[in-house]
């Protein structure tokens, strides 16, 4: 199985995104920023959401991507390109490394810049608190050693399927601010997954 098939077979996740085409620089900027702020990732352009390869004109896509990375991301995001051939189509593989200059922000509209991180297969808008955490994070290419409070969150999740911020604050006897920072850090380093589609956010082991 070649690299392109392997990436498509895995499906969209916290480090892979499919795009049929890139037409709006402000929209793709959010995805670029979310990968740069988290653990880096790959966008396959010319692949539909269901994994079907439709192909693109790579030069046209590169133009929009360059515009997005340079003018719609602050600070600008670094991209590398690779053209992959499959089924007589060209797919543009765009690689976004984890950034040493976090946090990055995407321009949503005039004078409105917002931070994003990658959670599962979506770009999630960050709070001011998360942006602060990102600012003090150095890129981590392997898992980091954890202190006792961080380990406490993982230990709680050995005994229960999910953990909310309130449960963690109570069990570890931490303030909301401190508990939230720790949980965000654990998500960013791949220990936990954040689930924010329900009434109350909760965390599970990755």
Question: Which tens digit of pLDDT belongs to each residue from 122-159?
Answer: 888 887 767 777 777 655 545 678 899 999 999 999 99
Domain presence at residue 46: yes
**Any bridge partners for residue 19, and if so which?**
45
Q: How many CB atoms lie within 10 A of CB 179?
A: 21
| Higher local confidence (pLDDT), 206 or 51 | 51
Same domain, 112 and 54: yes
Residue 143, SS3 per DSSP: coil
Domain presence at residue 130: no
Domain presence at residue 136: no
pTM for the model stands at: 0.71
Tens of pLDDT along 101-115?
Answer: 889 999 998 888 999
Domain presence at residue 119: yes
Handedness of CA 193, 102, 11, 22 (dihedral sign): positive
Same domain, 121 and 161: no
Same domain, 101 and 150: no
Residue 69 C-alpha from the chain's centroid: 15
Same domain, 112 and 182: no
Asked if 45 and 92 touch (Cβ cutoff 8 Å), the reply is yes
Residues 6+ apart with CB under 8 A from 27: none
Same domain, 112 and 158: no
Backbone angles phi, psi at 164, to 5 degrees: -100, 165
Domain presence at residue 137: no
Mean pLDDT of 89-100: 96
Query: Domain holding 18: CATH number?
Result: 3.30.950.30
| Confidence at residue 141, expressed as pLDDT on a 0 to 100 scale | 43
Q: Domain of 174?
A: 142-205
Same domain, 121 and 28: yes
Same domain, 65 and 121: yes
Residue percentage of the chain with pLDDT more than 70: 93
Termini Cα distance of the chain: 26
| Number of structural domains found in the chain | 2
Query: Domain holding 178: CATH number?
Result: 1.10.10.10
Same domain, 70 and 154: no
Domain presence at residue 147: yes
Structure tokens at 123: 């770009």
Same domain, 118 and 177: no
The answer to whether residue 119 scores a pLDDT higher than 60 is: yes
Domain stop point among 125, 154, 174: 125
């Amino acid at each position: 199985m070649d690299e392109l098939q392997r990436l498509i077979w895995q499906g969209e996740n916290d480090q892979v995104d499919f795009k049929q085409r890139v037409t709006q620089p402000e929209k793709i900027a959010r995805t670029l920023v979310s990968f740069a702020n988290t653990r880096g990732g790959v966008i396959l352009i010319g692949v539909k959401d269901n994994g079907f390869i439709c192909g693109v004109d790579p030069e046209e896509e590169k133009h929009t991507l360059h515009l997005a990375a340079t003018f719609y991301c602050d600070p600008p995001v670094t991209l590398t390109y690779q053209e992959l051939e499959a089924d007589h189509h060209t797919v543009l593989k765009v690689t976004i490394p984890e950034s040493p200059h976090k946090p990055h922000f995407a321009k949503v509209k005039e004078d409105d810049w917002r931070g994003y991180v990658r959670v599962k297969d979506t770009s999630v808008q960050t709070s001011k608190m998360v942006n602060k955490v990102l600012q003090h994070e150095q890129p981590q290419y392997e898992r980091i050693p954890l202190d006792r409070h961080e380990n406490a969150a993982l230990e709680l999740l050995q005994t229960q399927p999910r953990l909310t911020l309130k449960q963690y604050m109570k069990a570890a006897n931490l303030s909301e601010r401190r508990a939230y920072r720790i949980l965000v850090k654990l998500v960013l380093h791949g220990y936990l997954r954040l689930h924010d589609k329900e009434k109350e956010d909760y965390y599970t082991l990755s």
